[in-house]
């Protein structure tokens, strides 16, 4: 994970597919108890994007 660039698509960097991404969203849901609508998926394509998203959702 240390080699993953935070501002680049981590899906491309890690060669993960839609199944991996869905598992990631489910894990995020379980860990943080947030529901991630599909319309928000485009925000979660980078590490930085995920961090910004989580900060916003958890601040609510």
Partner 1 sequence: MADFLMPTLGSDMTEGTLVEWRKKVGDRVVKGEILAEVDTEKAAIEIESFHTGIVERLITRPGDKIPVGTVMAIIREEGRPAGKVEVEAKAAIKPHVEAPPSVARRAIPSPAPEPARLRVSPAARQLAAELGIDPSTLRGTGPDGAIVREDVLRAAQASGKRRETRGEEQVQPLAPSASPMAEAPGTAAERQSRMRQTIAAAMARSKREIPHYYLSTTIDMGRTMNWLKDENLKRSVADRLLYGVLLIKAVALALRQVPELNGLWKGSAAVQSPDVHVGVAVSLRQGGLIAPAIHHTDKLSLDELMKRFLDVVKRARAGTLRSSELSDPTITVTSLGEQGVETVFGVIYPPQVALVGLGKIVERPWVVEGQVVSRPVVTASLSADHRVTDGHRGGLFLSAIDRLLQEPGRL
**Among 2-10, 22-30, 47-55, the segment contacting partner 1 (CB under 8 A):** 22-30
Q: Is 38 in the site for partner 1 (CB under 8 A)?
A: yes
Minimal distance in Å, beta carbon 6 to partner 1? 22
Q: How many angstroms separate the CA atoms of 19 and 58, rounded?
A: 25
Q: How many angstroms separate the CA atoms of 17 and 51, rounded?
A: 20
Q: Is 1 in the site for partner 1 (CB under 8 A)?
A: no
50 close to 44: Cβ distance less than 8 angstroms: yes
Name the site residues for partner 1 (rule: CB under 8 A): 17-19, 22, 25-26, 29, 35-38
């Amino acid at each position: 994970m240390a080699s993953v660039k935070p501002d680049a698509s981590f899906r491309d960097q890690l060669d993960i597919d839609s199944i991996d991404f869905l598992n990631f969203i489910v894990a995020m849901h379980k860990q943080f108890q947030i529901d991630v609508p599909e319309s928000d998926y485009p925000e979660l394509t980078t590490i930085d994007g995920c961090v910004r998203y989580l900060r916003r959702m958890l601040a609510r």
